Amino acid sequence: MNQKIKEKSDYCLNCKIKPCANKGCPLNNDIPEFIKQIKEGNYERAYDILTNTTVLQAVCGRICPHKKQCQGVCVRGIKGDPVSIGDLEAFVGDYAIQNHLKIKKEEQKEFLDKKVAIVGGGPSGLTCAAFLAKKGIKVTIYERYDFLGGLLVYGIPEFRLSKDIVRDTIQKILDLGVEVKYHQKLGDNLKLEELIKQYDYIYLAFGANVPSKMGIEGENLEGVYGGNELLEFKNHPNYQGKTVLVNGGGNVAIDTARTIKRLGAKKVSIVYRRAKEQMPAEEKEVQDAEKEGIEILFQHNIVKINGNKKVENVELIQTKLVQKEGEKRLVPVNIEGSNYTLNTDYVVMALGSKPDEFVKELGLELTAKNYIKIDENYRTSNPKVFAGGDVVGTIGTVAWAARNGRNVAEEIIKIAK
C-alpha cells in the first residue's frame, strides 16, 4: 500500500455517526466504510462501496469543496486536521482506472424494454445514465459537442483536473452499455417533442451556460467577458502585458483568474463583495490562486465600468457586512464615499450562469428566473420529462449535479416497474 494513503486511511476513526457521509457529502457516500476497506487493503471492495452512490470517484476526489462538505464535518477536524477524504476517494477512483475495475450491473428483467433519453453529457447526465444502465434500462445520451463531460472538460482547467482522468471515468460509465449521439443540440437539430415520442422518459441535464450580469453601466463595452464563456469556448484575447479584473467568488472566478494568469497577463485581480471566509470557492483553490500572485480584493464591489467603446477603468466601492432580517448570512452593503477607480484592460464577469433562451421554446413550465420548473421528484410540467442540475438552479457543484442525476435515475426506476 502507498504509505501516505495508509497513514491517511488509518487516521479515520470509522465513527458510527458518520457526519461526513450523512451531513457533509451531497451524495451520501459511505465514507467510513470505504476507508475501512482501504485500511484492510480491499481496494476493489472500497470501489464497489463507492459505486453504490457515485460513479465519479476520481473526479470528485479531486475537485469537490471537501472542506465545505465531508471534511468540514469530520469528527477529527474538531480538535485537529480532518481526514483527507478527497485524497482517499481519488485514490480509489485511480485504482479502479488503473486496474480496469468495472461498475457492477444489477439488471432486472422488468427494465430491459425501457428506454430513456438524457440530454447533456455532463456530471448530472452521466450519473443518471450510469444508475439507469446498471438496472438494464437502455440509455441514450444526446450531447451537443463531440465529447462527454460537460464542465468537467471545458469548465475546469487541466491543471486542476486531468482530461485523461475524466475520459477514463466516463469510459466506465459507457461500458455499462450507454449509447451516445454527438452533435445533438436541443432546440436546433434535436427536438424535445421527438424524444417524447421515442422514449419512455427524458432527463434534461444540459446545464445553464449563459453568464449572469450585474446590470451596471459599461457591461457591454469591448473587453468585458463572461467567465463561463472563456473557459468553455477558449476565445481569449491577448493578455500579454495586460491587467485583468475578475468579478466573483466561486470556483469559476478562481479558475478563470488562474487560467488568465497562465496565459500571460501582467496582473490579475479578483473582486469579491464579501469576506474571505464567505467565499464559495474551495479554500485550497483560493490559496493556490494567491500563491500564484493573484490579488483578491475582498469586500469590494464593481459600481461601473468606464471607457469609450473599450474598457479603460473600473469604479469600485468598498463594502461592509451587516446582518439583515430573514438572511442566513451577512449581507454586503456598499460604504458610501469609499469609491475609487482602478485601471484595467479587461473585466471578466464570473457571477454564475443562467439557462439559454431556447428553454422558453421547450413547452415546459419555467420559474420566474427561466429555470425549468420541477416538483420534488424532478418532474417537469410534462410527466415524461425530468430535469436537474444547473438548468433547474440547483447548488452549482459537481457533487450536487451528480446527486440530481442519481435521484432522477432512482425516480425513473421506481415508476418504471
Superfamily for domain range 3-98: Alpha-helical ferredoxin (1.10.1060.10)
57-88 tens-digit pLDDT: 999 999 999 999 999 999 999 999 999 999 99
Q: Is the pLDDT of residue 367 over 90?
A: yes
| Average pLDDT score over residue span 237-261 | 96
| Average pLDDT score over residue span 278-297 | 94
Q: Which fold would CATH assign to domain 109-208+355-416?
A: FAD/NAD(P)-binding domain (3.50.50)
Q: Which fold would CATH assign to domain 212-352?
A: FAD/NAD(P)-binding domain (3.50.50)
| Average pLDDT score over residue span 381-404 | 93
Q: Is the pLDDT of residue 92 over 90?
A: yes
Q: Which pLDDT band holds residue 256 (cuts at 50, 70, 90)?
A: very high
Query: Grid coordinates representing 219?
Result: 457591461
Query: Grid coordinates representing 223?
Result: 473587453
**Residues pairing with 412 in the sheet:** none
| Average pLDDT score over residue span 309-334 | 93
Please, what is the average pLDDT of the chain? Answer: 95
415546459: which residue's cell? 364
Q: Is the pLDDT of residue 234 over 80?
A: yes
Q: Which stretches within 41-162 are classed as H helix?
A: 43-51, 57-63, 85-98, 123-133, 151-154
Q: Which pLDDT band holds residue 14 (cuts at 50, 70, 90)?
A: very high
Amino acid occupying residue 200: D
**Residues pairing with 206 in the sheet:** none
| Average pLDDT score over residue span 39-62 | 97
Q: Which pLDDT score is estimated for 338? A: 98
Q: Which pLDDT band holds residue 1 (cuts at 50, 70, 90)?
A: low
Q: Is the pLDDT of residue 275 over 90?
A: yes
Q: Which pLDDT band holds residue 211 (cuts at 50, 70, 90)?
A: confident
Do the beta carbons of residue 142 and residue 119 sit within 8 Å? Answer: yes
**pTM greater than the 0.85 cutoff:** yes
Measured between alpha carbons, how far is 117 from 191 in angstroms, rounded to an integer? Answer: 12
pLDDT-above-70 percentage for the chain:
100
Question: Which residues of the chain are in CATH 3.50.50.60 domains?
Answer: 109-208+355-416, 212-352
Run of H or E including 183: none
Question: Which residues of the chain are in CATH 1.10.1060.10 domains?
Answer: 3-98
134-154 tens-digit pLDDT: 999 999 999 999 999 999 999
